[in-house]
Amino acid sequence: MVTDAPPPEGGTDTSPAQPTTESFVEVQQSAEFGELRRAHRSFAFPLTIAFIAWYLLYVLLSNYAGGFMGTRLFGNVNVALVLGLGQFLTTFLIAWFYSRHAAGKLDPKAELIKSRMESGMEADA
């Protein structure tokens, strides 16, 4: 919540500087922000495409290769069940990989940009 209240008695205002629209545009056009976007896209897009392809393969096999999907591997466990559980496993692995990627590569860059904007300093273009 943003208020126009004066700073506390005897103190200075410790809230972060409010960036202007121009500073947002400037940061968006900076090389540093472009690098952050590339780091995100180079990770997110290939994994998204791979997961969608993997999911569509599962759906297509389920619809058109019933004999193969019904092949028993052991006991009552068949290929369809293993591939279906593999979908869940893949989802969790991608989330884990992304959180590691974000913590190691994206978050430090984003925090640097954020702190620079909040301090009122201009980004080096």
Question: What are the residue boundaries of the structural domains of the chain, listed by start?
Answer: 23-119
pTM above 0.85, yes or no: no
Cα separations (Å) of 34 from 42, 47, 62? 12, 20, 41
Which of 29, 56, 42 is CA-nearest to residue 106? Answer: 42
Could you give the CA distance from residue 97 to residue 52 in angstroms, rounded to a whole number?
Answer: 17
Q: Output the pLDDT for position 21.
A: 81
What is the residue-level pLDDT of the chain in tens, covering all 125 positions? Answer: 455 555 556 556 666 667 778 878 888 888 888 888 999 999 999 999 999 999 999 999 999 998 999 999 999 999 999 999 999 999 999 999 999 999 998 998 888 888 888 776 544 44
E-strand ranges in 27-111 read 72-74, 77-78
